[in-house]
Amino acid sequence: MLIAYEFLFDELAKQLEIYLIETEAHWLRLHFTRIHQISFQNYKLQELQKWCNDIVAKYPDKIFDSEDFFSLQEHALVSLISRDDLQMEEVKIWNRVIEWGIEQNPGLPSNPKIWTHEDFLALKTTLQNCLPHIRYFHISGDGIIDNVRPYKKLLEKNLWKDIKNRSISPYRQVSSIILPPRKILTPTLPIRNTEPFSTVINETHAAEIASWIDKQVNTYSLINNPYEFKLLLRGTSDGFTANSFWNLCDKQTHLVVVMKVKGTDEILGGYNPIGWDKPDGMSHYYKNCSYSFIFSLKNGTIQNSILSRVIQPKEAFFCYSGYGPVFGAGCDLKMSNGFNLDKNCWHCQNSYEKRIRNASTFESDGYSYFSVEEYEIFQISKKT
């Protein structure tokens, strides 16, 4: 894309830019800091810049609390602090802008009380395009005293006078321009049904699975889980048979399978973004996928969750009408017909990177056999 712009193939480059945003958003998020940095190095990458800023406006810590904040280009910083929907307290925006400006002037002493007129002038010059976007009149009185006053020499005398007067008398008329307050969104918890969304997993489990799907280093909180879990199948309601699985889940995508192992505290499962397709008759085949995984969740006496990502993508899933959901070529996680019957589910380690059951459960043939007392399949989608 950058080379296309270099050779003035602007139409091609723009199409590549749109393609990245529309079809590779997951990849862009995984490399967000780098993408944000590159997009603002080329003024033509307007679509990527907007895409990045839309995310930062909602989750400002991605940039403002990152190690790369001080290397942020000036126009990138201005493009953020000028937004009405930047989800930050105004006093924190002010503080970070001041810190960014000081970092651009490494010769400045750390204590502004000993700064010279030239020191303040240097910082004011650095921040001349940032200062007009601060919403001074929406900073609390304490914020003005503790955070703005030490740097009052950066501001025009009339502006500082108006800020002081307005903090004392909120309804006092001033001559300075008063920018509107930021449109801070009030977080609201989703309305819950009286019944739990699952009889196998809880909200904490769902947030952890969502984090694995997005390859997050840190687990999502309950409020920040970006996915809805829509129940497609529940064993005790719809049956533990292959037929019920294919009737309700054939050709469905973005599936999370969870199961409660009979007689233990174990919760096993897997994620299939591309789904299973029912073959004709007795035929069978594998499906290729690089983003699937299986897992064991922390629960009861199970102290730690185990994540096992696919290592043989060509054998990620097995499709056969006589089975339920199957992960891997060697039955890494397999549900035969009648999943709740004695030892009718299998686990081994073949197409996925690690075992998700205790070594003591494996028999001499290399398989771990078990049955389930409940299993569910959810289809996930991004929350609106």
Q: Tell me, yes or no, whether 27 and 112 share the same domain.
A: yes
**Residue 26, CA atoms < 13 Å, CB-side half-sphere:** 12
Q: Tell me, yes or no, whether 78 and 133 share the same domain.
A: yes
Residue ending a domain, choose from 168, 193, 215: 168
**Total number of domains constituting the chain:** 2
Residue 198 resides in a domain: no
Please state, in angstroms and rounded to a whole number, the distance separating the CA atoms of residues 330 and 336. 13
**pLDDT of the residue at 381:** 94
Q: Tell me, yes or no, whether 156 and 208 share the same domain.
A: no
Residue 196 resides in a domain: no
Residue ending a domain, choose from 143, 168, 193: 168
Residue 191 resides in a domain: no
**pLDDT of the residue at 274:** 96
Q: Tell me, yes or no, whether 123 and 228 share the same domain.
A: no
**pLDDT of the residue at 110:** 84
Cα–chain center distance at 72: 22
- Taking CA atoms, 71 is separated from 33, 88, 103, 244, in Å, by 11, 20, 9, 56
Residue 348 contacts residue 197 (beta carbons within 8 Å) = no
pLDDT-flagged residues of the chain (< 70):
186-195
**pLDDT of the residue at 277:** 95
**pLDDT of the residue at 300:** 84
Residue with tokens 């004011």: 124
Please state, in angstroms and rounded to a whole number, the distance separating the CA atoms of residues 80 and 158. 26
Residue 352 contacts residue 311 (beta carbons within 8 Å) = yes
Residue ending a domain, choose from 147, 168, 189: 168
Residue 327 contacts residue 270 (beta carbons within 8 Å) = yes
Residue 140 resides in a domain: yes
Structural domain for 55, as ranges: 1-168
Instruction: Decide: residue 137, CB within 10 A, 0-12 exposed, 13-18 middle, 19+ buried.
Output: buried
Residue 214 contacts residue 226 (beta carbons within 8 Å) = yes
